[in-house]
């Protein structure tokens, strides 16, 4: 009995190591496909201009982002400009087309959930340094083809599952689960039309989000200066 138990322990240990190695192998190939770790870690700021089609309404979106620090998204609907600001310690939302007259602060739960969105890379990049847990969950069918499935547990209440194309190693879909303000929230983002910028960075230029709609990116700039002041709810930067 003791020998059998010992053998079982060894086999289970080998299985765990093989799973971890498989997850890291897929992640490393994705990072290589996206230009390599040094290229990804060289991104300090991002500015982009998009078009979002949600609920039959098409409107422009602008995003300013400082890696690991802050993000501001502005959107103009029916001639009114709203925004969402996320920082490491706080956040605000302003939706004038829904009747809001002043920016409203995010709850502590909303701020906590949004921290992962402050990274310019996906959650599994440098996941050990972030304190996340990663597991390989085999292959699954998505968007009409098989894909590698990598689950990232960010906190006890937040996880993201990435579907990675076995040919290109690009992320083609991300499924998110989170508990915010006592409510379970799920979302699916599908990514496509990967393009390389003039300075060698690779981004998906089209995506579909189950909670927002279809988005197309027309302008994306990397490492251009961004003033910290725009991450204040009292600052207006529309049209910049």
DSSP for 86-124, written as a single string: EESS-EEEE-GGGT--S-EEPPHHHHHHHGGGG-SS-TT
Average pLDDT, the chain: 89
How much is the average pLDDT of 80-104?
Answer: 93
How much is the average pLDDT of 84-109?
Answer: 93
* Position 103 pLDDT exceeds 90: yes
Strand, helix or coil at 32?
A: helix
How much is the average pLDDT of 205-227?
Answer: 94
Cβ-contact 151, 138 below 8 angstroms: no
* Position 94 pLDDT exceeds 70: yes
CATH level 2 (architecture), domain 2-231: Clam (2.50)
Q: What is the pLDDT of residues 147-206, one digit of tens each?
A: 999 999 999 999 999 999 999 999 999 999 998 888 898 999 999 999 999 899 999 999
Domain ranges, ordered by start, for the chain: 2-231
Backbone angles phi, psi at 26, to 5 degrees: -65, -45
Which of 28-32, 181-185, 217-221, 233-237 has the least mean pLDDT? 233-237
* H/E segment holding residue 223: none
Q: Is 150 exposed, middle or buried (0-12, 13-18, 19+ CB in 10 A)?
A: buried
């Amino acid at each position: 009995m003791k020998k059998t138990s010992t053998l079982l322990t060894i086999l289970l240990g080998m299985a765990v190591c093989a799973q971890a190695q498989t997850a890291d192998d897929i992640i490393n190939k994705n990072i290589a496909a996206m230009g390599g770790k040094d290229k990804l870690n060289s991104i300090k700021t991002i500015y982009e201009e998009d078009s979002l089609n949600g609920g039959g309404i098409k409107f422009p979106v602008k995003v300013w982002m400082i890696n690991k620090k802050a993000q501001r998204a502005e959107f103009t609907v029916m001639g009114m400009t709203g925004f969402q600001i996320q920082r490491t310690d706080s956040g605000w939302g302003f939706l004038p087309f829904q009747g809001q007259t002043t920016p409203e602060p995010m709850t502590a739960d909303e701020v906590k959930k949004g921290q992962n969105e402050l990274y310019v890379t996906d959650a599994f990049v440098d996941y050990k340094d972030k304190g996340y847990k990663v597991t390989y969950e085999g292959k699954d069918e998505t968007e009409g083809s098989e894909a590698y499935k990598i689950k990232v547990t960010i906190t006890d209440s937040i996880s993201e599952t990435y579907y990675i194309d076995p040919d290109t190693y690009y992320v083609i879909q991300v499924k998110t689960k989170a508990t915010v303000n006592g409510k379970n929230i799920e979302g699916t983002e599908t990514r496509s039309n990967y393009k390389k910028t003039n300075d060698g960075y690779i981004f998906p230029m089209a995506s579909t989000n189950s909670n927002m709609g279809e988005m197309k990116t027309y302008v994306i700039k990397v490492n251009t200066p961004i003033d910290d002041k725009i991450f204040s709810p009292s600052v207006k930067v529309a049209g910049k």
